[in-house]
Structure formats: structure tokens, C-alpha cells
Amino acid sequence: MSVKEVAHPLVKHKLGLLRQHKLSTRSFRQITSELAVLLTYEATADMELEPATVEGWSGPVEVQRIKGKKVTVVPILRAGIGMLDGVLELIPSAKVSVVGLYRNEETLQPVAYFEKLAHDIHERTALIIDPMLATGGSLMATIDMLKAAGCERIRALVLVAAPEGIQKVARAHPDVDIYTASVDEGLNQDGYIVPGLGDAGDRIFGTR
């Protein structure tokens, strides 16, 4: 497994904006979406290309196009929805497989409540999206669902990751790569990432 902490200046700058406590719901949503675009750019950098010929203005031109193009984006409800538009901006033809999970606030264990996956997920690369990787429970549960459905190539795009969650996922799923704007310091006693972003779902949906 690899963890790629994206060092691009735009990513660092936008993440800094997002960390501000006093940020409107509108701005939080907007910047989350922009970061999703940039993480997608990184997470697709090794996509395979194949040669093709198109009809150009001066005749046939040899071009390159993405081979296969089979991707499914997997937002983890609810906060993952905040990254969906950004990912689809770069991969507009991707199928969307939705997973619903929430974290029990006392046990910190993920509780599954929804699953609707692309029917041909076994032949697609899954890009899981969720702003937060904290204890890793939600990501692990999602990976388990995808693998149970036959998915073989899985990547996760998260805005902020805690080392504790990364280690847990790495041990159980060494084949899954993680792309993040930041590996933060760690978790507090309530399982929140420090310095983190707070409750990303509440900030995206304006529910607190």
C-alpha cells in the first residue's frame, strides 16, 4: 500500500483555508470540491493510455486516450458527497457506487445503512471518496463491501488522514492506495482528527 500526501501548493493552500473554523458552509463546500479535483488529478496520474487516431483539421492525427476508462466513484455518505462533483468534473463518465455509513459516536464503530454499487464493479477501479480518515473504521467497512462485490482495484481519496487510520487500513488492505491532502497529527480522545477539520459532514451540509 502507498500513502500519497499531495504536496502541490494549491492543495496546501486550499487545505489551509478549509481548516479555518469560521468558514461559511458555502465556502467549505466549494473548497472541498476544489480539493477533490486536485486529489483526483493525482490519483489518476498512472492511468494507462492507448494510441488512437482522430480526424484532425489537417487529416488523421495520432492521439492518446485513456485505456479502459472503467472507474466507479464511491462516496461514503454523507460527507463523501461533498467531494463527488469535483471527482466527476475530471471523470464525467464514471459510474457512482454509493455507500452509507455513520460512526457510532460512543463506540466509533461504523454503522452501515446503504449500499448501491455499480453492477460491473468487478471490472472497475473504485475511487472511494470521504473527506476524513480517522480511526479507519468507515474506510475499512467500505473496502470490505467493495471487495465482497468483487472489486479488485481500490483507491481512497481523503482530504485529511490520521496516522492511526492509515495504519489500520494498511495492515488489513495492503493493496489499497490512499491519496490525501494531509496526514495530520492524530486522533483526540473523541476520535476526531487533530488539527483536522472538525465534523466534515456537518460543515458540508451546514447541520451544526
Ligand X SMILES: O=c1cc[nH]c(=O)[nH]1
Residue 190 marked ligand-binding = no
- Tell me whether residue 103 is annotated as binding: yes
Contact in structure between 160 and 132 (CB atoms under 8 Å): yes
Q: Where are the alpha helices (DSSP H) in the chain?
A: 9-18, 25-43, 81-90, 137-148, 163-172, 200-205
100 binds Mg ion (CB under 5 A): no
Q: Helix or strand or coil: residue 151?
A: coil
d(Cα 177, Cα 205) in Å, to the nearest integer? 28
Told to check if 132 binds ligand X by CB under 6 A, we report yes
Is 102 a binding residue for ligand PRP by CB under 6 A? The answer is yes
Contacting residue, 117, 181, 196, 204, with ligand X by CB under 6 A: 196
With CB under 5 to 8 Å by kind, the binding choice for 196 among Mg ion, ligand X, ligand PRP, none is ligand X
Residues in region 117-146 near ligand PRP by CB under 6 A: 130-139
Q: Least CB distance from residue 157 to ligand PRP, whole Å? A: 12
Q: How far apart are CA 135 and CA 7, in angstroms?
A: 23
Q: How far is the CB of 200 from ligand X (least distance, A)?
A: 4
Q: Which of 2, 53, 17 is nearest to 159 (CA)?
A: 17
Q: Which residues are annotated as a binding site?
A: 78, 103, 130-138, 193, 198-200
Catalytic residue list: 103, 107, 199, 202
